[in-house]
């Protein structure tokens, strides 16, 4: 009991003000969408950012937004296809060590279940799972040696509610939950935490196009969004799309020193869409 009280006293009670200054964060797939919002959020808390994407132009624009979010934030951009050996080598040369790794890169597209070829199954696994595993394998040892680090995987509601129109995508997101739990065990007792974030339907450019395809007529955006949620995502408890910044807030918290006791978990930012008590 005395031991327990001592430990609580060491952790202490302070206001939750997240300060990531001095930390370097790599966010994969960060030239737009959720990855860019995460990079902006981490920069606003003082982290130095490494951004990746394949288009130089989009990355340059993203770096400008990240610097606007965190005026002191230093940014490095790596334009490379990080699913390839060559692209990975360029990324690792530009960022040999990081303190925070956010595996955000992920691709998705609808495909009839029985028409997904072997090649497509492999390619989804390579892009959405193996790329994250490879980067974890590279960065985790440095984090454990230094006694501090944060690794996260951006999973999806599709990890839990497998969509019939993209079971190959759902498979990769379920795999990330397993990968995250496993690497958390590998980092046990080191000061490094490893978690996945289950993101729900989020207001990105791709999803906005998808909503426009499914909701007929030229409705104002708010109305189109409400119709989409009511008809296609009825279990959502917020009945609107999630804004990318709302996913970023959770990632910033999980990246913080304050989140030191959250590891090996899958944390939901899904607007209550997954109708379950546990993930």
Ligand X SMILES: NC(=O)c1ccc[n+]([C@@H]2O[C@H](COP(=O)([O-])OP(=O)(O)OC[C@H]3O[C@@H](n4cnc5c(N)ncnc54)[C@H](OP(=O)(O)O)[C@@H]3O)[C@@H](O)[C@H]2O)c1
Q: Which of 117, 127, 120, 202 is nearest to 158 (CA)?
A: 202
For residue 266, list its beta bridge partners.
Answer: 196
Residue 41 or 106 with smaller CB distance to ligand X: 106
- The span from the CA of 60 to the CA of 158, in Å, is 31
Would you call 208 exposed, middle or buried from its count of C-beta atoms within 10 A (0-12, 13-18, 19+)? middle
Residue-wise burial string across 237-265, b where 16 or more C-beta atoms lie within 10 A, e elsewhere: eebebbebbbbbebbbbbbbebbeebbbb
Please state the closest distance from residue 174 (CB atom) to ligand X, in A: 12
Residue 75 or 202 with smaller CB distance to ligand X: 202
Active site residue 169: yes
Please state the closest distance from residue 107 (CB atom) to ligand X, in A: 6
Please state the closest distance from residue 6 (CB atom) to ligand X, in A: 41
Residue 18 or 155 with smaller CB distance to ligand X: 155
Please state the closest distance from residue 41 (CB atom) to ligand X, in A: 13
Q: Going edge to edge, which strands form the sheet with 266-269?
A: 75-79, 48-53, 24-27, 100-103, 149-156, 192-199, 266-269
Please state the closest distance from residue 99 (CB atom) to ligand X, in A: 21
Among 124, 153, 169, 273, which one carries the catalytic annotation? 169
Residue 180 or 204 with smaller CB distance to ligand X: 204
Residue 14 or 124 with smaller CB distance to ligand X: 124
Structure tokens at 191: 């000061």
Q: What is the number of other CB atoms lying within 10 angstroms of the CB of residue 9?
A: 9
List, in sequence order, every beta strand (DSSP E) within the chain. Answer: 24-27, 48-53, 75-79, 100-103, 149-156, 192-199, 266-269
Q: Which residues bind ligand X (CB under 6 A)?
A: 29-35, 52-55, 58, 81-83, 104-108, 154, 156, 199, 201-202, 204, 206-207
- The span from the CA of 221 to the CA of 134, in Å, is 39
Active site residues: 169
């Amino acid at each position: 009991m005395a031991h327990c009280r001592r430990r609580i006293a060491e952790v202490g009670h302070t206001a939750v003000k997240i300060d990531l200054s001095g930390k370097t964060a790599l966010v994969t797939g960060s030239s737009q969408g959720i990855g860019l919002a995460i990079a902006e959020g981490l920069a606003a808390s003082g982290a130095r950012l490494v951004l990746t994407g394949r288009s130089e132009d989009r990355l340059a624009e993203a770096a400008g937004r990240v610097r606007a979010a965190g005026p002191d934030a230093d940014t490095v951009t790596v334009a490379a296809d990080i699913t390839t050996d060559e692209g990975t080598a360029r990324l690792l040369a530009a960022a040999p060590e990081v303190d925070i790794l956010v595996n955000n890169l992920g691709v998705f597209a609808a495909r009839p279940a029985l028409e997904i070829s072997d090649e497509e199954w492999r390619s989804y696994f390579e892009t959405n799972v193996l790329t994250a595993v490879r980067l974890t394998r590279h960065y985790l040892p440095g984090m454990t040696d230094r006694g501090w680090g944060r690794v996260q995987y951006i999973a999806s509601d599709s990890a839990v509610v497998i969509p019939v129109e993209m079971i190959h995508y759902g498979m990769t997101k379920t795999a990330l939950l397993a990968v995250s739990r496993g690497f958390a065990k590998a980092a046990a007792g080191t000061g490094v935490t490893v978690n996945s974030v289950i993101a729900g339907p989020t207001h990105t450019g791709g999803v906005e196009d998808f909503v426009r395809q499914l909701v007929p007529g030229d409705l104002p955006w708010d109305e189109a969004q409400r119709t989409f949620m009511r008809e296609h995502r009825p279990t959502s408890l917020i009945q609107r799309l999630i804004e990318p910044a709302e996913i970023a807030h959770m990632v910033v918290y999980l990246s913080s020193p304050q989140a030191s006791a959250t590891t090996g978990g899958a944390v939901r930012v899904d607007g209550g869409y997954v109708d379950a008590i546990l993930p």
